[in-house]
Amino acid sequence: MRLRNVPHAREFIAESPFVVHEPETLAGKWASDVFQNDHPIHLEIGTGKGRFIMALAAQNPDINYIGIEKYSSVLLRLIQKQEEQQLENLRLIRGDAQMLKSFFGPAEIARIYLNFSDPWPKDRHAMRRLPSREFLSRYDYVLTKDGTIEFKTDQQPLFDFALEELKESAFQIRAMTRDLHADEVLGEGNIMTEYEERFSALGNPIYKYILEKR
């Protein structure tokens, strides 16, 4: 998702106190230098306009949240909301999650959310998919021993690919569903993302898994 014609997005982002500009300098130090508490840190990769992470951060003041989004024009919308709400426990990174292991130290993150990640349908782009084995290995490095990954999508081929990739990974399934909105257990307290609202309104079922380390 890229929004066009957003002038001055980069300048606006550069000036926001909620955006962490050199995350590489903070690897292993997010608790002490950024949040200044020892609350668990949860990460959303590919925040889009950020409804999901804003809602979670407002609901859970004892959890620290970090959102990573690749595109300035998209992140801008999230920053504008955060400038209004000023949630103390939320910080944002404009960057590519391929750099995850330079942004965070080992076992620094307690949970990772992947919501409606780009499907990258061509085989040669498989390693760009956020639930690919390459990304799972990065998640393994930054996650705590009992850390978890929560992934939602309406794309069946991407979900099936994500399940296949587990065989080559350090993770196993704790829970999963192929129809989140009809699942009484996994659906409870579900916060809909912008994409989830759009695609479930078309009648698409929502797939979800929760992973834990083996």
Report, as residue numbers or ranges, the catalytic residues.
118
Q: How far is the CB of 75 from ligand SAM (least distance, A)?
A: 8
Length of the chain: 214
| Segment interacting with ligand SAM, rule: CB under 6 A, options 15-23, 110-118, 182-190, 204-212 | 110-118
Please pick, from the candidates 20, 97, 143, 158, the single residue that binds ligand SAM as defined by CB under 6 A. 97
Please pick, from the candidates 6, 10, 34, 96, the single residue that binds ligand SAM as defined by CB under 6 A. 96
Answer yes or no whether residue 74 interacts with ligand SAM by CB under 6 A.
yes
Other beta carbons within 10 Å of 68: 23
Q: How far is the CB of 151 from ligand SAM (least distance, A)?
A: 11
Q: With contact defined as beta carbons under 8 Å apart, do 119 and 129 qualify?
A: yes
Pairing of strands 171-177, 207-213: antiparallel
DSSP state of 19: B
Q: Which of residues 125-184 bind ligand SAM (CB under 6 A)?
A: none
Reading phi first (left if > 0) and then psi (alpha if -120 to 50, else beta), residue 11 is in alpha
* Residues 6 or more apart whose Cβ sits within 8 Å of residue 186: 175, 176, 177, 180, 208, 210
**Cα 174 to chain centroid, rounded:** 18
Answer yes or no whether residue 1 interacts with ligand SAM by CB under 6 A.
yes
Cβ proximity to ligand SAM, 194 vs 212, nearer residue: 194
Going residue by residue from 7 to 46, which x/- string records binding to ligand SAM, judged by CB under 6 A? Answer: --------------------------------------xx
Q: With contact defined as beta carbons under 8 Å apart, do 171 and 140 qualify?
A: yes
Q: Which residues bind ligand SAM (CB under 6 A)?
A: 1, 45-48, 68-71, 74, 96-98, 115-118, 193-196
